[in-house]
A and B are shown apart, each in its own frame.
Chain A
Amino acid sequence: MAEDAGKKQPNEKAAASSREISRDEERKIIEEVLAGKTDSYAALVRAYENRIFSLGLRFFRNREDARDFAQEVFVKAFERLSAFRGESRFSTWLMKVAYHHGISAYRLRKDTESLAGDFALPAGEDGPEKLHARGAAREALVKAVGRLPERYRLCVDLYFSFGMTYEDAAAVTNIPVGTVKSHVFRAKQALRAALKDSDAEDFKSGM
């Protein structure tokens, strides 16, 4: 995860501010935009700005660059909107535009560290003891993802952090669905093994 993203910003806690929109709503907005009602596009930006900004943090590791990246992606998506055929969700198509834009920008900027190298997990709502016990499991997932070749890290991240399906993550990254599935499965297995270990430790310390 990005360095900046590691520090919890107050606005990040209220991250769920972006409004969910249905597929029908999306289609209606896109039709309006293509018919010349440019202002309607703002609703799509509002709905997906958190996602694209978060993806930008994976590539750039600082908020300013991630903001610029997100703006560029939305402008690019607007320019290419006529090419969106509605075969997938708009969010998947937008993520694909963002992913490819990010990859080319990342290749140009070799100063960045490895992609999604700091895949991190938030602490959640657990109490301090439980948090400590689960820490090892969280660590295991981070390690499992970190061990993957760079190009597969982001597709596993798309599954876990962005809640994408195997198929959508594969469509965004152009990696075969089977490959995405097997990497996610291995990450889940690592998580399971670590969770078992941490629960065993919990049991021992509880005796």
Chain B
Amino acid sequence: MECEKFMQIFLELDNGEALPEGAAAHLETCARCAAEARGLEELMSSPRVWGNLAPGESLVSGVMARIVKGQAAWAAGKEFFSENRRELSLRNWVGTGLFILLGMFLIPFSTILPELNRIIPGLRIALPLVLGLVITLYGALFIGSHLNVFRRLLGASPPPASPFVE
């Protein structure tokens, strides 16, 4: 193997990768390449010190304290929500949805709307926006509170375990 070919292979080597057989054989017979490779290897490995600087005092206690604090806050939040959570039956959800739909259909027949339109001129533009927001909010709340049902229906895998276990 030629010296230049060897150097090409040597420079292309990955960290921790061994020289291929032919190149290793060349290294044993060529003193010049061996010296050059040794010099380069020494220089290339010298920046390793800069990837392993100690932060002085260990970070362990600080990190663990933050984690424990986070877990306590998470547990407190979970407790708050579980205590204050109210289950809404499916019948109530459907009832609310039908009420919103019915409201939408009845609005054009209402006499209140022309009256309101006289007081607030831009109401016709604002009304679809308000209705859109109401439907979006209703849909988001329904999906958000029935995630497990949707997950089951779609055959998705259960969520991964959280490190914030009780």
Q: In the complex, what residues of A have CB within 8 A of residue B42's CB?
A: 124
Q: Bound complex: CA of A54 vs CA of B50, how far in Å? A: 7
Q: Does B15 contact A (CB under 8 A)?
A: yes
B23-31, B53-61, B81-89 - the one binding chain A: B53-61
Contact with B along A50-74 (1 / 0, CB 8 A): 1101110100000100110011001
Contact of A11 among B7, B14, B54, B68 (CB under 8 A): B54
Q: In the complex, what residues of B have CB within 8 A of residue A71's CB?
A: 59, 62-63, 66
Q: Does A75 contact B (CB under 8 A)?
A: yes
From residue B120, how far is it (CB to closest CB) to chain A in Å? 43
Residue of B with least CB distance to A196: B36
Q: Is the interface of A mostly helix, strand, loop or mixed?
A: helix
Q: Bound complex: CA of A18 vs CA of B60, how far in Å? A: 11
From residue A201, how far is it (CB to closest CB) to chain B in Å? 14
Assess the A122–B47 pair: CB atoms within 8 A.
Answer: yes
Contact with B along A1-36 (1 / 0, CB 8 A): 100010001011011111000000000000001111
**Looking at chain A, what size class is its interface with the partner chain?**
35 or more
Assess the B63–A82 pair: CB atoms within 8 A.
Answer: no
From residue B70, how far is it (CB to closest CB) to chain A in Å? 7
Q: In the complex, what residues of B have CB within 8 A of residue A152's CB?
A: none
A16, A51, A54, A83 — most chain B CB neighbours (10 Å): A54
Assess the A120–B50 pair: CB atoms within 8 A.
Answer: yes
Contact with B along A180-202 (1 / 0, CB 8 A): 01000100110110011001000
Assess the A82–B53 pair: CB atoms within 8 A.
Answer: no
Assess the B43–A81 pair: CB atoms within 8 A.
Answer: no
Q: Does A137 contact B (CB under 8 A)?
A: yes
Known contacts A67-B55, A79-B70, A122-B49; is-contact A192 B60 (Cβ 8 Å): no
Contact of A50 among B17, B55, B162, B165 (CB under 8 A): B55
Assess the A46–B58 pair: CB atoms within 8 A.
Answer: yes
19 of the cross-chain contacts (CB-CB < 8 Å) are A34-B161, A34-B165, A35-B165, A36-B166, A50-B52, A54-B50, A75-B66, A75-B70, A78-B67, A78-B163, A79-B70, A83-B160, A120-B47, A121-B46, A160-B47, A166-B14, A167-B14, A189-B11, A191-B43
Give chain B's interface residues, CB within 8 Å of chain A.
7, 11-12, 14-17, 36, 39-40, 42-44, 46-56, 58-60, 62-64, 66-68, 70-71, 160-166
